Amino acid sequence: MAKTTGTQTELKTILRLFMGIMFLFSGVSKLFPLEAFESITVQQGLVGWGLVPYFSRMLVSLELLLGLMFLLNIKLRRFTLPVSTGLLVLFTVYLVYYELAGNGGENCGCFGEVLPLSNTASIVKNIVFIAINAALLKLTGVEAKYGYEYAGAGYVVILSILMVVFPVRPYETVEHPEIVANQDFAKLDSVKQPGLTVMKKPEEKAAGVSSDSLKAKEKKETIVADTTSATVKKKEPAKTPLKEKYPETTSIYSQLVPGCDVGIKIIAFLSLDCDHCHAVATELNQKWGLVKGVGRHYLFLGSEDQVQPFFSSTGGSVNYSLLTPQKFFPHLRSAPPKVILLVNGNAVMVMEGEGVSVSQLINTIKEINLTYSK
């Protein structure tokens, strides 16, 4: 390789310091909070809840090690550049696959919650970093043989520090996924939005009959001819008891919210640092007067001193519980908020992330109250 000039040396130094800072920032940003990064990792399918506390600390330790080795100019050609490039290529390939599968989210977790990046933005960022590594490799001269035991020792030291400062706390995984109760509301059948889970009645799905046609049939059957006059009168159908439609059952939320399996309840998983959660809680308070006989309980992620400011800014207080990250995140399949409508313990609606619609929730409750007797 030709001898590098002064300009090339300066360029190499700038690129090396940039990559070092980026890897250090990537590692440190994942730590605050580490549980949020772990939740994204599980949602992307990389590892499960049992392994993710170890995977996250191992990955962060590697990023910190590479960042330090870039900054200190330690064995770029023989270790730092090959390992960092391999890591970038590995995650880029996975993100491309994840995006093509239609699972792209608002935050890939590369920079934690400090700097949210979409999968597409992260792919572009990784490609730029790979190109910088290629330039650095070209600018880096031949190096003497390197004993990898020093890098290994440094990795063990960093990992040990992380395990002490951020001790592993097992997640309390949810044993049984939600089963959305059958419902026959035509409005719900027509809704198609991300994060909303609804199911048709089995007999409707099998027969290929829409809810609209069933309702029209029911309406037609309630018309009774009056033999003493030419007018046609509508007979109000008797309401089905709510417990007959939704028999009492034990939901997966009963351990978090005692008594939530009786009557109509709204359970909401909200992060006190989440703007979207704040907006959902505000809209719920604004529209709460439209429904009656419904209970609410918020399951918060955050600290006690954040609760009252949250209630003050959203327009009202609600019964709540504070959850640890180990209890909160396993209930989510995307970023919060998550809103569940329970009827006698049956999950009638489950909405998450961008799929949360307060208007749809209120309309469903009103439909239930009009259709069934308590």
The pLDDT tens digits of the residues spanning 160-187 come to 999 999 999 999 987 655 555 544 443 4
pLDDT over threshold 80, residue 213: no
pLDDT over threshold 70, residue 191: no
Characterize 161-179 residue by residue with b for buried, 16 or more Cβ atoms within 10 angstroms of its Cβ, and e for exposed: ebeeebeeeebbeeeeebe
Q: Under a CB-based contact definition with an 8 Å cutoff, are residues 300 and 309 in contact?
A: no
What would the mean pLDDT of 143-152 be, rounded to a whole number? Answer: 80
Please, what are the domains in the chain? 6-165 (no CATH), 186-202+239-373 (3.40.30.10)
Give the chain's mean pLDDT. Answer: 85
pLDDT over threshold 60, residue 83: yes
268 bridge partner residues: 298, 339
**Which has the minimum average pLDDT: 18-22, 35-39, 224-228, 330-334?**
224-228
Q: How far is CA 223 from CA 216, 231, 373, in A?
A: 11, 11, 21
pLDDT at 357: 96
Q: Which two tokens stand for residue 180?
A: 């959305």
What type of residue sits at position 134?
A
pLDDT over threshold 90, residue 228: no
pLDDT at 181: 52
pLDDT at 234: 55
pLDDT over threshold 70, residue 210: no
